[in-house]
Amino acid sequence: MEYVLTTNGLTKQYRNFKALHDFNMHVEKGAIYGFVGKNGAGKTTLIRLVCGLQEPTRGEYTLYGKKNTQHEVSRARRRMGAVVETPSVYMELTAEENIREQYRVLGLPVFDGVKELLKLVGLSDTGNKKTKNFSLGMRQRLGIAIALAGDPDFLVLDEPVNGLDPQGIIEIRELILKLNREHQITFLISSHILDELSKLATHYGFIDNGHMVKEINAQELEAACRKCMRLKVTDAAVLARVLDRMALEYTILEEGQADVFGNVNITKLAVALDAEQCEITSLREHDESLESYYVSLMGGGSHE
Ligand SMILES: Nc1ncnc2c1ncn2[C@@H]1O[C@H](COP(=O)(O)OP(=O)(O)OP(=O)(O)O)[C@@H](O)[C@H]1O
């Protein structure tokens, strides 16, 4: 397995407070790694350390196999781009001028890639429009374009959809997927919204109180979130009786609805209900919420 980023016992202490505590993380090459935790869990702290903006108190991390204590880590860091907290853009400049500015900062001699980057993030037609007149989503995409200057193959995004409207969220999601699939860019994306990450992440790391609670891949997460049938019927009492008879596991919800787990033979169930004058009025497959998985993971306090 090839890892872009690993951390080993990484600890960051501010006075008596450990924002990160013996933190172990593994970001595989090619992954979209969803880094999930509530506000204050330590996500930004990890990102700041990995970006070299702060030094760890203890422990270490590797970037492309180079330890943070090795000289070569600075070269490895050039393969990485980041948008930490809000994207740092110059509001009085246009999108193109902002990217050109980043090229200058990086000491890149030619501006050949600028137009291509604008196209990649869907900002080609913004012309002379100043960044201050951009929507939040456009600014976020510009931030990603700036992070892509220098052609990194690892992008770190801190809460990239925070504050965006639904359309903005979709655009960022599609951009991330395109960069991952078509440009082989590995992503580390922090968020406190698991549901949003679940639309794109291939791997997850759950952080709580500075600890890595669990690392899991998307298939494992899907298996852990049980699927069920959500039924609505005209008589919930009859439904409960019939489900008991059929030895099916279920939860009765309000207004004649129930979630039924396991393999349900819908025809048999409908016939049995019909025999007792109970009708199914709606039926759909339902994912037990990712959020409830998250809550049980955090609430359970398992520190694997
Ligand atoms: N410079 C600092 N000095 C003291 N405490 C800090 C400092 N930076 C962060 N902390 C604390 O460390 C903890 C983790 O903060 P961090 O910003 O990493 O959390 P986060 O998971 O990114 O949360 P959010 O989603 O709110 O950004 C918080 O309790 C925060 O108050």
- From the list 140, 176, 189, 172, the residue with the least C-alpha distance to 37 is 189
**226-288 and 3-223 share a CATH fold:** no
Q: Are the C-beta atoms of residues 42 and 5 closer than 8 Å to each other?
A: no
Q: Are the C-beta atoms of residues 156 and 47 closer than 8 Å to each other?
A: yes
Q: Is the CB of 37 under 6 A from ligand 1?
A: yes
For the domain spanning 3-223, the CATH number is 3.40.50.300
> Residue 178: its pLDDT value, please?
94
Query: Of 110-119, 189-198, 214-223, 291-300, where does mean pLDDT reach its minimum?
Result: 291-300
Pick the CATH number of 226-288 from 3.30.70.100, 3.30.70.2190, 3.30.530.20, 3.40.50.2300: 3.30.70.100
> Residue 287: its pLDDT value, please?
67
> Residue 285: its pLDDT value, please?
81
Ligand 1 pocket test, pick from 36, 44, 156, 194 with the greatest ligand atom count within 8 Å of Cβ, gives: 44
The ranges assigned to domains in the chain are 3-223, 226-288
User: Distance (Å, rounded) from C-alpha 49 to C-alpha 26?
Assistant: 15
Inter-CA distances, 299 with 25, 35, 302, Å: 21, 18, 8
Atom of ligand 1 nearest to the CA of 44: 22
Query: Of 140-144, 200-204, 289-293, where does mean pLDDT reach its minimum?
Result: 289-293
Q: Is the CB of 139 under 6 A from ligand 1?
A: no
Taking the model in full, what pTM does it have?
Answer: 0.81
User: Distance (Å, rounded) from C-alpha 179 to C-alpha 18?
Assistant: 34
Q: Is the CB of 45 under 6 A from ligand 1?
A: yes
